Amino acid sequence: MLNKKHWVLLASAGAITLTGAANAATLEDTIQRGAVQCGVSDGLPGFSAPDGDGNWQGLDVDVCRAVAAAVLGDADAVNYISLNAVERFTALQSGEVDVLSRNTTWTTTRDTTLGLNFAGVNFYDGIGFMVSNDLGISGADELDGAAICIQSGTTTELNVADYFRANDMEFDPIVFDTSEQTVGGFQSGRCDVLTSDTSQLAALRIQLDDPSGAVILPDIISKEPLGPVVRQGDDTWFNIVKWSLFAMLNAEEYGVTSENVDDMTSSENPDIARLLGQDGNYGEGMGLEADWAYNIISQVGNYAESFERNVGMDSPLEIERGANALWNQGGFQYAPPIR
Amino acid sequence: MIHNQTMIDQRPAPSNTLGPMAWLRANLFSSPLNTLFTLVGLYILYLLVVPTIQWAFINADWIGTTRADCSREGACWVFVNARFTQFIYGLYPRSEIWRANIVFGGFFTLIAWLAIPRLPLKRWVAVFALVGFPVVAYVLLHGGYFDLPRVPTHRWGGLMLTLLLASVGMIGALPIGIVLALGRRSNMPIVKSFCVIFIEFWRGVPLITVLFMASVMLPLFLPSGISVDRLVRALIGLTLFQSAYMAEVIRGGLQAIPKGQEEAAAALGMTYWKRMGLIVLPQALKMMIPGIVNTFISLFKDTTLVMIIGLFDLLGIVQAALSDSNWLGFSLEGYVFAAFVFWIFCFSMSRYSQYLERKLNTGHKR
């Protein structure tokens, strides 16, 4: 008994901590703690996963790194807390994490009834299809009568059925329990098509014996905008997360990268001067220093760099920019100007 | 009258009654039907074992550091090799791993010391293992004292976390379980009903629910601004859950002790605690070794459930490593490694308990 008591006493002395009032002043608490509390997934390829050295990497992770760079000037000052799909919102509501960046789809229910705010979209996801090269199919409208491998228990199943019914096409669903089995089914030729969220399709494709033998169709048949989430009621913090993401997008639009950012500080372009804090202090309204965006870009990079490094062409996943290209390059990513 | 008699030389027993041939004949080929079963069994074994060995050893890749070093003809142990440190220590900072190593070293030394009968000072080592060592381990692992940098618990993981959860669960559950078992047999109505309610409540809910409540619901009940570390939440949940099971195992042992034992002790004027501590419990615990070890082994395996509350135990960290986009598609290797490590620990516990049973056997065993 003595030992048990000892343990609990000791552990609780170190473990019960004040995380600060959960409803306001997240910025002050973060500065005082010296680290951003960031909720990530328990492992999702390209979005958040620990690398060989135990550092978290991914597109979702970069959002938290950007916030840390803006607030604390150090992108590494992040405490990553891995959350599963069920507990993620509770962890945010209870103040265990201050930013939830965990491939969370922005929906009405989540935005309006959970006391949360979505601070933007860092990846436009949606259900897509992967087919074998041999079939010579180039679009989803040619899939009439196809046998489709689907992972059970996901909304994918319903969305695919909706899509085929709406387009008056037939399909033959072949349902598997796990993603490995789904890949196996596709590989062995049980089905012509494998369907999943596009962000996951690329990860499934790598697991094929011959990844180059399969192609991901450009069509996306559902809307799954993924983005960082914060608690409702702390508008300063909401603004910080929102504009950290916008700063990365704006930097890409103006051609500012982590490599040229130091040269760009002397740029004549007024947009760049405002972004990098050379002309006015646009961080002031959020309680940040003038170099908030400079810190993000120099330490995390702009959105294109983050995208390519984690899920794009520089990563094993090789996901096309597609819907995630900037608005002036045929995608949806659009950030309000910094002015 | 006997004369000129020569002894017949000793001759070995007929070759069909001893040696491996005889064993084979007696056990595997004693009748045509058994011969058939043996051959079919051998064939099935051949079908299973040969591809496994091919996959795991002959065609496997052992050397390298990246995915490109894998030929994919067999297992690619390069993956396990590249992630080995992470599987053992989780996300513990690389520069601080020496602290975890000291704790590991101390942990195994203490266990070995207590397990090997020849070594002296057992009592003092046991006291240190139960009282001193947890404090030392906590200070070392968590840091924050003596200029050691703090390592928050969300960076703990891997085998280290599995062992931590299992040992705290075991060390905590046994004494609580003993107290609950005694309480359930008590004549005092309040103590008795408390113990019954406690045991039945914790046995009535699945561990997964306990962990979920601890990680999802508990934070909502706490006043805003106070959060209990999630590892501590999991430890408390795991310990309380296991202590309820332990209590019932021990109560089984208590009930098997003839009443006369306790009555005889009472007749000698022993107090309740002396009767229990010197007469009843030592017999009951010895008898319940298989049951207690059974509970320990199941607790050890149950620790993997903490994965659902976002703690990276051994299995959790293997799964997280599988989602690294540089190492997609190596799940079989990862899971085989995790299964092997779990097997080593569970099998050792089981063997040690058998040894303990033999050692403490005083002839009651049938």
Q: What is the CATH number of the domain that holds B259?
A: 1.10.3720.10
User: Does the beta carbon of A9 lie under 8 angstroms from any beta carbon of chain B?
Assistant: no
Alpha helices in chain A (DSSP H): 2-15, 26-33, 59-72, 88-93, 108-113, 155-166, 179-187, 198-206, 235-254, 261-264, 270-275, 292-299, 303-310
DSSP state, A35? S
**Cβ–Cβ of A18/B138 closer than 8 Å?**
no
Q: Which residues of B touch A317 (CB under 8 A)?
A: 325
Q: Does residue A269 surpass a pLDDT of 50?
A: yes
Residue A274 lies inside a defined structural domain of this protein: no
Q: Are residues A208 and A140 in the same domain?
A: yes
pLDDT, one tens digit per residue, over B229-261 is 788 888 888 899 999 999 999 999 888 888 898
A213 in the same domain as A84: no
* Residue the block writes with tokens 């100007």: A337
| Judgement on whether residues A132 and A217 belong to the same structural domain of the protein | yes
Q: What angle do CA B222, B228, B234 make, to 5 degrees?
A: 110
CATH of the domain at A62: 3.40.190.10
Among A204, A237, A268, where does a domain finish?
A268
The answer to whether residues A172 and A240 belong to one domain is no
**For residues B187 and B192, what is the distance between their CA atoms, to the nearest angstrom?**
7
From the list B345, B248, B318, the residue with the least C-alpha distance to B288 is B248
CB contact under 8 A, A82 and B154: yes
Q: Does A169 touch chain B (CB under 8 A)?
A: no
Report CA dihedral (A63, A68, A70, A74) to the nearest 10 degrees. Answer: -120
Domain shared by A110 and A149, yes or no? no
The reply to whether residue B90 touches residue A316, judged by beta carbons under 8 angstroms, is: no
Cross-chain residue pair A316–B326, CB shorter than 8 Å: yes
Residues A102 and A147 in one domain: no
Residues of chain B in contact with residue A316, where contact means CB-CB under 8 angstroms, are: 67, 325-326, 328
Pick from A19, A44, A84: CB nearest B225: A19
pLDDT at position B65 over 90: no
Verify whether the Cβ–Cβ distance A42 to B316 is below 8 Å.
yes
Domain ranges, residue A233: 23-124+225-268
Candidates A81, A94, A180; nearest CB to B154 = A81
Given an 8 Å threshold on Cβ–Cβ distance, is B320 in contact with A52? no
Q: Which residue has the higher pLDDT, B307 or B38?
A: B38
**Number of structural domains chain B divides into:** 1
Q: Return the sign of the alpha-carbon dihedral for residues B163, B167, B173, B174.
A: positive
Nearest chain A alpha carbon to B228? A16
Q: Which residues of B touch A50 (CB under 8 A)?
A: 86, 91, 317, 320-321, 324
* Residue A140 maps to a domain: yes
Flag if B310 and A42 touch (Cβ within 8 Å). Answer: yes
Interhelix angle A235-254/A59-72, nearest 10 degrees:
110
A160-215 per-position pLDDT tens digit: 888 888 888 888 888 887 777 888 888 888 888 888 888 888 888 888 878 888 88
- State the smallest CA–CA distance between residue B12 and chain A in angstroms: 60
Contact A1 B175 (CB under 8 A): yes
CA nearest neighbour of B81 among B59, B64, B58, B96: B64
Degrees (nearest 5) of the Cα angle A246, A247, A251? 115
Residues of A in contact with B222 (CB under 8 A): 94
Look up the pTM and report it: 0.80
Contact A178/B at CB under 8 A? no
Residue B230 in any domain: the answer is yes
By C-alpha distance, which of B282, B140, B232 is closest to A4? Answer: B232
Please give the residue of chain B at the shortest CA–CA distance from A209.
B72
Interhelix angle B97-115/B133-142, nearest 10 degrees: 160
User: Between B15 and B157, whose confidence is greater?
Assistant: B157
Nearest C-alpha of chain A: how many angstroms from B278? 18
Per the prediction, chain B carries an average pLDDT of 84
From the CA of A195, how many Å to the nearest CA of chain B?
18
Say if residue A64 is in the same domain as residue A138: no
Which ipTM was obtained for this model?
0.75
Report pLDDT digits (tens) over B149-173: 878 888 888 898 999 999 888 888 8
Model pLDDT for residues A221-259, shown as the tens digit of each residue: 888 889 999 998 889 999 999 999 999 999 999 999 999
Q: Is A300 part of a structural domain of the chain?
A: no
Flag whether B298 is in a domain.
yes
Q: Token pair for residue A193?
A: 């098509």
A278 in a structural domain = no
Which of B110, B142, B246, B323 to mutate against chain A (most A CBs within 10 Å)? B323
Q: Tell me how many residue pairs between chain A and chain B have CB atoms under 8 A apart.
A: 166
CB A33 within 8 A of CB A98: no
